[in-house]
Amino acid sequence: MAAVSEDQTLRQRALRVVPGGMYGHQNVGSLPAGYPQFMRRGEGSHIWDVNGREYIDLMCSYGPVVLGHHHPKVDAAAASQQLLGDSQNGPSPVFVEAAETFVERVRDADWAIFSKNGTDATTMCLTIARAATGREKVLAARGSYHGAAPWCTPRLSGVTTSDRANLIYFDYNDVESVRRAVDAAGGDLAAIVVTPIRHDTGTDLEWPTREFTQALRQHCDQQGAALILDDVRCGFRLHNGGSWEEIGVPVDLSAWSKAIANGYSLAATTGTDALREAAQSIYTTGSFWFSAVSMAAACATLSAFTCESSVDAMTRVGGDFVAGLEGQMHDHRIEARVSGPVQMPFLRFANDDDFELANAFSVECLNRGLYLHPRHNWFVSAAMSERDVDGALEATNAGLASVSKILEGRQ
Amino acid sequence: MAAVSEDQTLRQRALRVVPGGMYGHQNVGSLPAGYPQFMRRGEGSHIWDVNGREYIDLMCSYGPVVLGHHHPKVDAAAASQQLLGDSQNGPSPVFVEAAETFVERVRDADWAIFSKNGTDATTMCLTIARAATGREKVLAARGSYHGAAPWCTPRLSGVTTSDRANLIYFDYNDVESVRRAVDAAGGDLAAIVVTPIRHDTGTDLEWPTREFTQALRQHCDQQGAALILDDVRCGFRLHNGGSWEEIGVPVDLSAWSKAIANGYSLAATTGTDALREAAQSIYTTGSFWFSAVSMAAACATLSAFTCESSVDAMTRVGGDFVAGLEGQMHDHRIEARVSGPVQMPFLRFANDDDFELANAFSVECLNRGLYLHPRHNWFVSAAMSERDVDGALEATNAGLASVSKILEGRQ
C-alpha cells in the first residue's frame, strides 16, 4: 500500500473546505497527474513542494518572483518596514519612495497609484480613461488576459451581459480588426487596452508588429482615447521600465503587478500628466493599498533591477536555456516552437491541440526536477545560474525524449 | 520661520508623483488641518506619525488592526511562514488551515476562497450568486459601502451606466423599500447584499431590526436568491464568527477582509454547501491570492480571537470608553449621540451637517494624543488597556470642551 503523501492529505482536506479543492491559476486540477498542489518553500531559483521534492523554478510563482525567492536585500527591506508597521492609518514614507521610483524608472509614468491585484490596476486604468474622456467603450484583444474581474475573466460563469457591454474586441497584431473595432466604438472610445506581447495561454507568444503598435497609438490619438498597456505579466522582465519603451511607442496608462515587489503583494497604476486630473477624480481604494511592507519590498526590488542588471541577467540565462532547448528539439527531431522573449519563453509542440505532448514533456521535466507549465508561458528569474540552466536542460532533454517516444508510437 | 515637518515634506513629494497627493480612504485631504498624512509605526494600541507624535489608535488602520499593532503571536506566525515562502507556484499548507479555521469558526461557512481586497470578496459573492441562479439583479442598500469597484464605488467618476445596470437599491432597515426592490427585480433576483449593521460614513450607525433581517432572509428564500453578508468591516469585531450569528439569521455568502489577519493583506469569501458548485464554476484569481504569509497571520489571528477572547476584550474597553464619553457629553451639555457597537462606535453632534463640530472635536483629540475620525466610525482594538481608555477620555473631554466653546460662540 502506497503511503499517502503530504500533498494528497492536504488536497483531501482542501476538498472539504475549498470549492473544487482549489481555484484560479494555481489550481493544478487541469494539470497532468504528478503536479504538486501545495508548496513548502523557495530559495533563489529552487523550490520545494510539500512532499519535499526539489525543483528548479521556471514558473516563478507565475511571475512575481523575478530576483529569485528570498532575495536578501528585498527581504531585509521588507523586514525592516515590518518592524515599524505595515497596515496603518496612513501610508508610510516608503509609499512616496515607491511612487518616485516608478516615475523615475518608467518613461510614461508621471504618477503612480498602488493597489493589490493586477486586476485592480487594469480595472483602474479603464475607469481613469472613462473619467478622462467621458466615454464608455474600451477595445481589448480577443483572448488577452487582463485579470479576473467580471469585465475580463476568461470564464463567463456568473458574468452578466452588462459587465461586458462596453467591451469591443479586436485581434492582436491585426490592424484591420483594430480599425473595425474603433469604427464600432462610434466616437465613444475611452481606451484601448493591450498586453506588451501576445501571451494568451496555450498559444505561441507573439511580439507586437510595428504596424500594430503604431496603429493603436494613432487611433488613440485620433479619437482622443487612452492607450493602456497591461504590463502586469511582462513588466520589468523585458525592460527596466515600461515594456514598450524600446519600441518607442508611448502609452497613456500602465497596469503593473507581479514582479514589482519580487513576490510581495503589490500592484500599481501609472499614467501621464494628461491623465492626472482624471486619476484624481475617481474613487479607488482598498484596505491594504497603503500597506508599507510590500512598498518597501518594491523599492528594494526596483533598485535591484538596476544594480543587479536583472533584465540582462534574465536575458542571458534565458537565452542560454532557450538555445539549449532548441538544440535539443533539433537533435530529437521534434517539431515544436519556442516562442516569446527568452525571459518568459513558451514551448508548443506541433499537432498538439490536446496538449498530450506538452503534458508528457512537463511531467517528465517535473520528475527530473524542473517545474514548468504545459500551457502557460514560463518565467526565468535573475537568480537562475548557468548550473541551473544545465540542470533545466537535462530535464528538458528527458522531457523531449518522452515526447519522442509518444510520437514514435503514433507512427 | 516654522520648520517644515517630515509630513509636509512627504506631502510635497507625494503631490508630484501621486494624483492629488493621495487617494482613497487614507487621503487626509478632506480631514481638518492637523491630521498627519504619513505614519511611522505602531505598537499595541499606540501609533506614531512621521513627525514623531504618539497617539492612542482609535482607527486601527480603518479596521484591519484588531489585536493591536505587532501582536506577537501573529507576527511570529507570519515571520515563520515568510522564512519558508510567501508567493509560490501553489498555496502552502497554511492555506488549508486558514480555510478550515473559517469553516470551523463561522456558522454559515462550509468553504472559503481567499483573495486580497474586501472588494474582491464582495464582487465574488455577486458573481457566485449569479452563477448559482442564472440571474443578474442584485439588491443593495442605498449608501452602503461594499468596496471601490465600478459596481459599488461611492463616486461615479469613470463609472458607466452598464456597471450598475443590475443593481437595485433599497433603504437599510426599511422593509417596504426592500419589497419594492424585490418586485423591481421581477424574477431576475440573484442576491441581496447587506452590511451587518448600517455603517454609512458620516451618519449614525444603526443596528438592523429583526423585521428587516427576517424580511431579507424571507425574500431570498422565496425568490431562490442568495443573501450576502458584507462582513468586511464588522467581521470578528462583533462576534467570534459571522456578525449575524447571534441574531439567528443565516446567510448564504459572506465577504471578509480587514480584521481577519490583524493587518496582513487578506480577504475571504465564505459560503454554504448549496453554493459550492456555483463557487467552483466561476474563474476568480489573483497573483497574490495564494500568498502564504497573510494566511499564516490569519490562522494566528483567528486563534487569538478565541484564546484571548478578543470580542469580549473589545466590548469591555469599548464599553468603558463609550460610557465615559457619554458621561462627558452630559457634563458638557452637548447634544450629540454615540451610535453603533461599542467595538466600533461613532459620535455625531446635533446640527452638524457641515461637520464643523466633529472636525473641531477630532482635531482637539488629535492634539491630545487620540487618533479618531470626524466622519468615519472608530475601531477599538483588543490591545486597548484601561489606561488607554483613561487617556482617550482625557482627550475626548478636551475635544468636547472645544465643541462647547464653538456652541457658545454660536449663541
Question: Nearest residue of B to residue A191 by CA position?
Answer: B158
Out of B61, B276, B289, name the one closest to residue A89 (CB): B61
**Cβ-defined contact of A281 to B84 (cutoff 8 Å):** no
Residue in B5, B88, B152, B258 to test binding to A, most A beta-carbons within 10 Å:
B88
What pLDDT sits at residue A12? 98
Cβ partners under 8 Å of residue A290, min gap 6 = A87, A88, A90, A91, A92, A95, A114, B24, B26
Which chain B residue lies closest to A84 (C-alpha atoms)?
Answer: B41
Q: Do A87 and B95 touch (CB under 8 A)?
A: no
Contact call for residues B349 and B407 (beta carbons, < 8 A): no
Contact B263 A13 (CB under 8 A): no
Task: Assess B76–A contact: CB distance below 8 Å, yes or no.
Answer: no
A vs B, Cβ pairs < 8 A, gives 346
A24 and B59: CB-CB below 8 Å?
no
A128 contacts B10? CB cut-off 8 A: no
Indicate left, alpha or beta for A155 from its phi (over 0: left) and psi (-120 to 50: alpha): beta
CB within 8 Å: A155 and B280: no
- In this prediction, residue B2 carries a pLDDT of 62
CA distances B105 to B143, B261, B315, Å, are 30, 14, 19
Instruction: Kindly determine whether residue A14 and residue B286, on different chains, have CB atoms separated by under 8 Å.
Output: no
Are A282 and B163 an interchain contact pair (Cβ–Cβ within 8 Å)? Answer: no
Q: How far apart are the first and last CA of chain A?
A: 37
Q: Could you tell me if B22 and B30 are in contact, meaning their C-beta atoms sit under 8 angstroms apart?
A: no
Which of A14, A112, A278 is opposite residue B99, by nearest beta carbon? A14
Q: Which residues contact B282 (CB under 8 A, 6 or more apart)?
A: A153, A155, A157, A158, B124, B127, B128, B131
- Chunk chain A into consecutive blocks of 10 residues (it has 411) and report each block's average pLDDT, rounded to whole numbers: 87 98 97 97 98 98 98 98 98 98 98 98 98 98 98 98 98 98 97 98 96 98 98 98 97 98 98 98 98 98 98 98 98 98 98 97 98 98 98 98 96 83
Nearest to A25 among B57, B88, B285 (CB): B285
Gap from B321 CA to chain A (nearest CA, Å)? 20
User: Looking at the partner chain, which of B79, B84, B127 has a beta carbon nearest the beta carbon of A150?
Assistant: B127
A291 to chain B: which residues are within 8 Å by CB?
263, 265
Nearest to B19 among A89, A276, A371 (CB): A276
Q: Which residues of A touch B159 (CB under 8 A)?
A: 127, 130
Beta carbons of B283 and A153 less than 8 Å apart:
yes
Q: What angle do CA A108, A111, A115 make, to 5 degrees?
A: 110
Query: Touching check for A137 and chain B: CB below 8 Å?
Result: no
CA-based nearest residue in chain A for residue B148: A284
Query: Which chain B residues are Cβ-neighbours of A299 within 8 angstroms?
Result: none
3-class state of residue A179 by DSSP: helix
Chain A: residue whose CA lies nearest to B63: A287
Q: Please write the tens of the pLDDT for every residue from B240-251.
A: 999 999 999 999
The complex's ipTM works out to 0.98
Q: Fill in the amino acid letter for B321.
A: F
Angle between helices A93-105 and B6-17 (to 10 degrees): 30
Q: At what angle do helices B292-307 and B72-84 cross, to 10 degrees?
A: 150
Q: Which residues from A are below 8 Å from B272, CB to CB?
A: none
Q: List the single residue in B25, B92, B126 with the smallest CB-CB distance to A285.
A: B25
**Low-confidence spans in chain B with pLDDT less than 50:** 1
| B45/chain A closest Cα distance in angstroms | 12
Whether residues B99 and A17 touch (CB distance < 8 A) is answered with yes
Contacts of B57 in chain A (CB under 8 A): 89
Residue A18 corresponds to which cell in the numbers above? 475549498
User: Which of A85, A120, A136 minimises the CB distance to B160?
Assistant: A136
Closest CA to B379 of B398, B392, B394: B392
**Contact across the interface for B258 and A287, Cβ inside 8 Å:** yes
Within 13 Å and on the Cβ side, how many CA atoms surround B158? 27
Q: Name the residue among B49, B128, B288 with its Cβ closest to that of A265.
A: B288
A347: which residues sit within 8 A by CB, 6+ positions away?
Answer: A325, A336, A337, A338, A358, A361
Question: What residues of chain B lie within 8 A of the CB of A370, using their CB?
Answer: none
- Which residue of chain A is at minimal alpha-carbon distance from B138? A160
Give the three-state DSSP class for A49.
strand
Q: Contacts of residue A70 in chain B, CB cutoff 8 Å? A: 85
Residue A292 class from Cβ within 10 Å (0-12 exposed, 13-18 middle, 19+ buried)? Answer: buried
Residue indicated by cell numbers 480595472: A123
Sheet containing A253-256, strands listed edge to edge, beginning at the edge strand earlier in sequence: A111-115, A267-271, A253-256, A226-230, A189-194, A137-141, A167-170
Cell, residue A182: 474603433
Residue A69, classed as helix, strand or coil, is strand
Contact criterion met (CB < 8 Å) for B100 and A13? yes
Q: Tell me which residue in B63, B86, B130 faces A158 most closely, judged by beta carbons.
A: B130
Amino acid at B117: N
Looking at A250-368, which runs of residues are DSSP E strands? 253-256, 267-271, 336-339, 346-349
| Cα(B288)–Cα(A14) distance, integer angstroms | 18
Which residues of chain B from 315 to 354 reach within 8 Å of chain A, CB to CB? none
Distance of residue B330 Cα from the nearest chain A Cα, in angstroms: 30
Question: What count of other Cβ atoms lies within 10 Å of the Cβ of residue A317?
Answer: 23
Which A residues in the span 148-207 are in contact with B, Cβ-Cβ below 8 Å?
148-150, 153-155, 157-163, 165-166
Helix (H) or strand (E) holding B226: strand B226-230
CB A380 within 8 A of CB A314: yes
pLDDT at A3 (0 to 100)? 81
Q: Which residues of B touch A366 (CB under 8 A)?
A: none
Whether residue B229 lies within 8 A of chain A, CB to CB, comes out as no
Q: Which residues of A touch B378 (CB under 8 A)?
A: none
The string of pLDDT tens digits covering residues A398-410 is 999 999 999 999 9
DSSP sequence for A78-145? HHHHHHH-SS-SS--HHHHHHHHHHHHH-TT-SEEEEES-HHHHHHHHHHHHHHHHS--EEEEETT--
Residue A112 forms contact with B (CB below 8 Å) = yes
Dist CA A282 CA A316 (whole Å): 42
Q: Is the pTM of this model over 0.95?
A: yes
